[in-house]
Copies of this chain bind each other. A is one copy, B any other.
Amino acid sequence: MKRSSLFLLSFLIAGCFQLAGQTFHLGMAGYTFNKFDIDKTLSFMKKIDVHYLCIKDFHLPIDASADQIAAFKAKLAEANVIGYAVGPIYMKDVEAVDKAFAYAQRVGVDLVVGVPGVWGDKGPRYDVLDRVEQKVKETGIRYAIHLHGPDMPLYPDATSIWNDVKDRDPRLGICLDIGHDLRAGADPIKDLKRYAKRVFDIHLKDVTEGTKAGHAIELGRGAIDFPAFVKMLKKVGYKGSCSLEYEKDMSDPFIGIAESVGYFKAVIKREQ
């Protein structure tokens, strides 16, 4: 074999290993802990052995000073937790967009999960979305729009987001909330396949049924087919976070979170 072929072969092998290492990871959506401070959140994450957190503003205010941010990041580092994104952040106007991107820059993350527009709107506010695109280009920070299911007209499912981002900068995409997507009558596994290139974040969730009446439940007890979902994650080569957003028993969610995390860990192991 020629030296150039050997070089190519070793390059390819190295590339495969690199790809094999770059897979999705299990995380927590900060919103899960909206009744608990960051210390309780981190000590619990240690117990369940989960190391990625999407940072919510009730844990780190959007106007946090440099000192506050440094202290917060030190806590995360101490707990061996990576704050991989901020959000979801509601952005009803362009000023809110500017604030959110400035915040993300100060925190040092490369992904913002956001809701551009006004909660009651039937459609997005395109001046807000235009500003988001402008800030994405300026900062290089990606932006994932969170979908909210049938409870609000603004971005109920993945398709409604796709329609608004597909012709924009490729760094605008989707935070695929699989529970809300199902409740909106969509198929989150098909949506993951269809929109894979634009799925930057995932909210893990199980729900009792795929209608508006469906409500949050421990992973594995509801209507989502997690083995099929994880197969699709692998198939499309998803490399972001699958962050559990657990909205049942939010005043005392820990037992349900732990069961859900155990369930998802076993499904991941199955598909390895």
Contact = CB atoms under 8 A, between A and B. Distances in A.
Contact of A264 (B255, B266, B270): B266
A48 B221 CA distance: 11
Query: How many subunits of this chain does the assembly comprise?
Result: 2
If over half of A's interface residues share one DSSP class (helix, strand or loop), that class is named, otherwise mixed; here it is: helix
Nearest to A271: B270
A227 interface: yes
Interface residues of A, number: 26
Given A227-B270, A267-B270, A259 B256 contact: no
Contact of A269 (B44, B48, B220): B220
A263 interface: yes
A16 to B, nearest CB: 25
Given A49-B221, A221-B49, A270 B259 contact: no
Interface of A: 44, 47-49, 218-221, 226-227, 254-267, 269-270
* Nearest 3 interchain pairs by C-beta: A262-B262, A266-B266, A258-B258
Given A49-B218, A259-B259, A266-B267, 16 more contacts: A48-B255, A227-B269, A254-B255, A254-B258, A255-B258, A258-B258, A258-B259, A258-B262, A262-B262, A262-B264, A262-B265, A262-B266, A263-B263, A263-B265, A264-B266, A265-B266
